[in-house]
Amino acid sequence: MPEPLNLIDKAIEQSRTYRETFNTTVNGITEPLTPEAIRDTLYLRVRESLNRGCREAVKLLPKGNKRSIAYSILMTALYDIFHYHKTEALMTHYNNLLDKMVGTH
């Protein structure tokens, strides 16, 4: 039996790696001037990191036809983890959902 992939943790790990790389390299992005623009830019960068992490985690699935389903579940899971923190109940819920829709992940 193959080792489970644990896609949610892989997506979080990939998002964190991308975010740290993005923050430590010089990308030529100037910071916005107003506080509202700073918050909007930060939120968009976090969303971009979550998106990148989900895309990289989904590539680990062997079946290509299950990737779109897994991607949408992972994005919802990461948004909820971002908003409500990583709790055991939340992780159990989304892992069960991934098991049901994608199969053993």
Q: Tens digit of pLDDT for each residue in 59-86?
A: 988 888 899 999 999 999 999 998 899 9
Question: What pLDDT is recorded for position 45?
Answer: 85
Q: So what's the pLDDT on residue 75?
A: 95
Tell me the whole-structure pTM to 2 decimals.
0.80
Q: Measure Cα distances from 12 to 25, 30, 71 in Å.
A: 20, 27, 13
Blockwise average pLDDT, block size 10, the chain, 105 residues:
73 89 65 79 87 93 89 94 92 93 79
R_g (Cα) of the chain, nearest Å: 15
**What is the pLDDT, as a whole number, of residue 3?**
57
Q: Residue 64's pLDDT is what?
A: 84
Q: Where are the domains of the chain?
A: 7-22+33-101
Burial of 20 (0-12, 13-18, 19+ CB in 10 A): exposed
Q: Where are the beta strands (DSSP E) in 1-105?
A: none
Confidence at residue 1, expressed as pLDDT on a 0 to 100 scale: 43
